[in-house]
Amino acid sequence: MGEMRDDLILRVEDLTIEFHDHDRPECVVEGFNLELARGEIVGIVGESGSGKSMSALAIAGLLKRHAMTRSGRILFQGVDLLTCSRSQLRSYQGDEISIVFQEPQTSLNPVHRIGEQVEESLRIHHPEVTAQERRERALKLMEQVGLREPERVYRSYPHELSGGMRQRVMIAAAMIGSPQILIADEPTTALDVTVQAQIIELLRNINRREGTAILFISHDLSLVRSLAGRVLVMQDGHVVEEGASEEVFAHPRHPYTKRLIAAIPVVEL
């Protein structure tokens, strides 16, 4: 493969992930390719078990290195995240590449206050930032992600917040290090439709304001269409279709994509 184009921030080449915890190796992702340019929003869509979340975890460097084999390359700024040292990988995690999960309840620590958790990656990756600066940045970000009364939320514990507020907290925590890539893995699934729309709008604003590239993972094709300029459709570990969101939506080529589109409920106004 040639050098990375200047505008590319991430290139995944032929990523294959196999688990070895059963009698026979189980291939969960095969031959996955992705190019993500600076400031671009790309959606990966597919049903449960399609390999989309596994691909996202690999890019975020969160796959455990035992009980599985991985081949291919995940190039971030020219560094292969699959083969680089653990310390180099850790230097990117949560700082240059951040991830937001579906259920913030499991990602947030119930015994720590929200402010402390929002500031965590700044504390780890940027020890030169003073406690006062961390607090100011956390409060400003919490306001930007639409948390009213950030001072009160800062002092709260996770159980004192609604699901939508917890998801906003997770997005603030993911953005505090000004990452170049934000991976959002089903970030709205547990939320009601109104809050879902607000979170999508929030991600769009982050992309516009900060120029953060976003990888948006979802089983919901209509959500992906509303946010991402480009979409990859995954089925059984393979990318079966790829293209501009509107193009894929208007002229789906693969039977699986056609089925996903047919399943979208039509809302009569």
Tens digit of each residue's pLDDT (9 = 90 or more) over 67-118: 678 899 999 988 999 999 989 999 998 889 999 988 766 778 999 999 999 9
**How many structural domains compose the chain?**
1
Calpha distance 183→60 (Å, rounded): 8
In a domain, 255, yes or no: no
In a domain, 217, yes or no: no
In a domain, 71, yes or no: no
Tens digit of each residue's pLDDT (9 = 90 or more) over 235-267: 999 999 999 999 999 999 999 999 988 888 766
Calpha distance 61→63 (Å, rounded): 6
In a domain, 126, yes or no: yes
In a domain, 90, yes or no: no
Report the pLDDT value the prediction gives residue 5, as an integer from 0 to 100.
Answer: 64
In a domain, 33, yes or no: no
Identify the DSSP state of 159.
G
| CATH code where residue 116 lies | 3.40.50.300
In a domain, 158, yes or no: yes
Range of the domain at 115: 97-178
Structure-token pair, residue 69 = 């084999």
pLDDT band of 192, cuts 50, 70, 90: confident
pTM of the model: 0.91
In a domain, 131, yes or no: yes
